[in-house]
């Protein structure tokens, strides 16, 4: 009986490895100068954050890249 519980927990946690099914599921992981992406359900609250308007290299600033779903994981893809 115990092994069934352990197996169930492993299967459930395995499902949490799925970040996305489309690019629309992915957003920047931070409010300012993000360089990686996460599932939109975990997006940061940026309502009280002021960011600089600078285009920092190696970030998603100024359309230097985008958040895409790659192999069911949210990834930053740079141009």
Alpha helices in the chain (DSSP H): 2-15
26 in a structural domain: yes
Report residue 2's pLDDT band, with 50, 70 and 90 as the boundaries.
low
11 in a structural domain: no
pLDDT tens track for 8-40:
444 444 445 679 999 999 999 999 999 999 999
In angstroms, how far is CA 44 from the centroid of its own chain?
Answer: 10
**Residue 7: pLDDT over 50:** no
36 in a structural domain: yes
25 in a structural domain: yes
Q: What is the domain extent for residue 68? A: 19-78
28 in a structural domain: yes
Residue 16: the pLDDT is 52
Q: pTM of whole model > 0.85? A: no
13 in a structural domain: no
- Give the total number of structural domains in the chain: 1
29 in a structural domain: yes
Q: Give the integer Cα–Cα distance in Å for 60 and 77.
A: 9
Residue 14: the pLDDT is 47
52 in a structural domain: yes
């Amino acid at each position: 009986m115990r092994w069934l519980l352990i197996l169930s927990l492993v299967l459930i946690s395995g499902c949490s490895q799925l970040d996305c099914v489309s690019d629309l599921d992915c957003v920047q992981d931070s409010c300012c100068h993000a360089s990686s992406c996460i599932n939109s359900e975990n997006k940061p609250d940026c309502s009280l954050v002021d960011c600089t308007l600078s285009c920092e290299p190696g970030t998603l600033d100024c359309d230097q890249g985008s958040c895409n779903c790659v192999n069911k994981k949210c990834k930053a893809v740079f141009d």
